[in-house]
Structure 1
Amino acid sequence: MNCSIVIRAYNEEKHIGRLLEGIKQQTVKDVDVILVDSGSTDSTVAIAESYGARIVKIRPEEFTFGRSLNYGVKEAKRELVVIASAHVYPVYPDWLETLLRPFQDESIALTYGKQRGPEFAKFSEQQIFHQWYPDVSKPKQETAFCNNANAAIRKSLWEKNNYDETLTGLEDLAWAKWAKEQGHAITYVAEAEIIHVHNETPRGVYNRYRREAMALRRIYPEAHFNFYDFLRLTVTNILSDLWHAARERALLKNISSIFWFRTMQFHGTRMGHRETSLVTPQLRETFYYARERKMKDEKKRDVAPIKYKR
């Protein structure tokens, strides 16, 4: 089993080394690592080169999420292409092995794995990770939901349909939607777990959800999100987070971030939606709705996690 790994990066010297070290410790050894750098001014490129990564550069003024991925996938030497954000790192040494295993089924076009935040992640962000990435795998899932922070695709299918370079985000969802429309399948692999480091300001959270909502409207023109949705989902998600935080005896230290995070999340979502219409219930639940979960519901694996030096 072999693969190429495409990593998009901009000034990621704080995180890129841990990802590359995690790749080095994988059970899959035959890997071709490509770093797509969009103008880093720190030591990101030097660190990547020290691990043997090939560097592909894109000018900052040309950057879009889809375009940077297209640059990287084009350079990939292998049929199976793993896509990872520069600020993630694998938990287990069989991350690649488990993420790639479903491709033994020729109908699988894309796989994506579990994401969790580091210990210092905002409480609401952790709730979203639990909501979107459960402990149970989903072979051939019903929706097109996926996430390119931790995913893999077939290059031969990408050659038929490149990532949309005009979207403000969710280029992964657009590609997955196309793949399903062509009769291919998507698999969620819970065992392929990574830690995803987000440490955003309120403005950063607002901008992320605003651009993703703008992209969602392009992909699903029938989508809508009005002021009532903003109020309802802000309130219900804040209450859900407060309840979970109280159960986990973490309310006091998280109460402030819960309020601002959820407010910025859904304010950004509302501003990104400029028109009102309908969206599939499955997709609305995936993106917006808090789900009930058990406290301390993490499934333990028999695989020892990677021990990082830093």
Structure 2
Amino acid sequence: MRVSVVIAAYNAEAYIAEAIESVLGQSVPPDEVIVIDDGSTDGTRGILDRFGGRIIALTQTNSGQAIAVNQGLAMARGELIGFCDADDLWTARKLELQLALLERHDDVEAVFGKVQQFVSPDVPEEQRERLTPAVAIMPGELKQCMLIRRPALERAGPFDESLPATFFIAWLGRAKQNGLRSAHVDDIVVRRRLHLGNGGRTNTDAQNHETLLALRKAIKARRPPE
């Protein structure tokens, strides 16, 4: 089955090359990698251009990550869809392990895996403690950990563009309500980089507020019509 990978990037010049290489360097490589530059003002676009025909790169006006990811999905041609964040890393056998599980189990629609969180080497020593996670390795029901069959992705509808930071939380809740059949591989599939630009760790009030909005939308969707 053809695999498409979507990456949204905004001012990601410090990490985007390493993220893309981790996707292209898979033991079973994807068929296409689509990178949406969400109106970056740094050198992100120039780095994307260095990859040439190895990726499909598009620049849009800065509109937010959810809109960028939806734009990438509209371009994707694969029967299976994966995601990587511009500052994270796929482990080398992510696709190999997840494809094998999907091939063995026709009833599984989406497969996740473990995520390993690490403090980026470029974080100054005096800032590292506050970014250090309480748990380094854990099950990861995250967008970047997921490989999903396209019909299951589309059944739950597009990502909510009104929730730029928590759109995946809202989508996953909706997908589970619609009967998403998922499984996990017992391996680390993503290394999640923690750095000073992580909005969820440096701007927790805004993140918590948006998470609450996502949960309210999920609860409202579960209520029967009046």
**TM band (smaller chain):** 0.7 to 0.9
Secondary structure at 2:158's aligned position in 1? Answer: coil
Paired residue for 1:217? 212
Deviation string 1:77-99 (CA, Å, 9 cap, x unpaired) is: 101111110111233x2122123
Secondary structure at 2:213's aligned position in 1? Answer: helix
TM score, norm. by length of structure 2: 0.77
**How many pairs are equivalent?**
208
Map 1:1-310 → 2, pairs under 5 A: 1-51=1-51, 52-60=54-62, 62-63=63-64, 65-91=65-91, 93-104=92-103, 105-113=105-113, 114-118=115-119, 120=121, 122-123=128-129, 125-130=131-136, 133-134=138-139, 146-160=141-155, 161-200=157-196, 205-207=201-203, 209-221=204-216
Task: Give ranges in structure 2 of 5+ residues lacking alignment.
Answer: 219-226
Find the aligned partners of 1:175 and 1:54 in 2 and give their Cα distance.
Answer: 25
Secondary structure at 1:41's aligned position in 2? Answer: coil
Deviation at 1:203, TM superposition (A): 8.3
Q: Which has the larger radius of gyration?
A: 1
Deviation string 1:151-200 (CA, Å, 9 cap, x unpaired) is: 22222233331111111422112111122112222333342433222222
Root-mean-square deviation (CA, aligned residues, Å) is 2.9
Paired residue for 2:223? none
Task: Report the residue type matching 2:11 in the other structure.
Answer: N
Deviation at 1:123, TM superposition (A): 4.3
Deviation string 1:208-260 (CA, Å, 9 cap, x unpaired) is: x333322322232399xxxxxxxxxxxxxxxxxxxxxxxxxxxxxxxxxxxxx
Find the aligned partners of 1:147 and 1:154 in 2 and give their Cα distance.
Answer: 16
Deviation at 1:13, TM superposition (A): 1.8
Q: RCO higher in 1 or 2 (8 Å CA, sep ≥ 6)?
A: 2
Secondary structure at 1:157's aligned position in 2? Answer: helix
Deviation at 1:206, TM superposition (A): 4.1
Change (3 A) 1:202 1:67: closer
Kept in 1, the 8 Å contact 2:110–2:182? The answer is: yes
Kept in 2, the 8 Å contact 1:110–1:186? The answer is: yes
Secondary structure at 1:108's aligned position in 2? Answer: coil
Deviation at 1:34, TM superposition (A): 0.4
Change (3 A) 1:48 1:189: farther
Find the aligned partners of 1:15 and 1:204 in 2 and give their Cα distance.
Answer: 17
Kept in 2, the 8 Å contact 1:27–1:94? The answer is: yes
Find the aligned partners of 2:109 and 2:169 in 1 and give their Cα distance.
Answer: 13
Secondary structure at 1:156's aligned position in 2? Answer: helix
Change (3 A) 1:40 1:190: farther
Task: Report the residue type matching 1:9 in the other structure.
Answer: A
Kept in 1, the 8 Å contact 2:93–2:189? The answer is: no
Runs of at least 4 residues off by over 6 Å: 201-204
Q: Tell me which protein shows more strand as a share of its residues.
A: 2
Identity %: 23
TM score, norm. by length of structure 1: 0.58
Find the aligned partners of 1:217 and 1:147 in 2 and give their Cα distance.
Answer: 17
Deviation at 1:28, TM superposition (A): 1.2
Decide which moves more: 175-184 or 117-126. Answer: 117-126
Find the aligned partners of 2:84 and 2:217 in 1 and give their Cα distance.
Answer: 30
Find the aligned partners of 2:50 and 2:39 in 1 and give their Cα distance.
Answer: 18
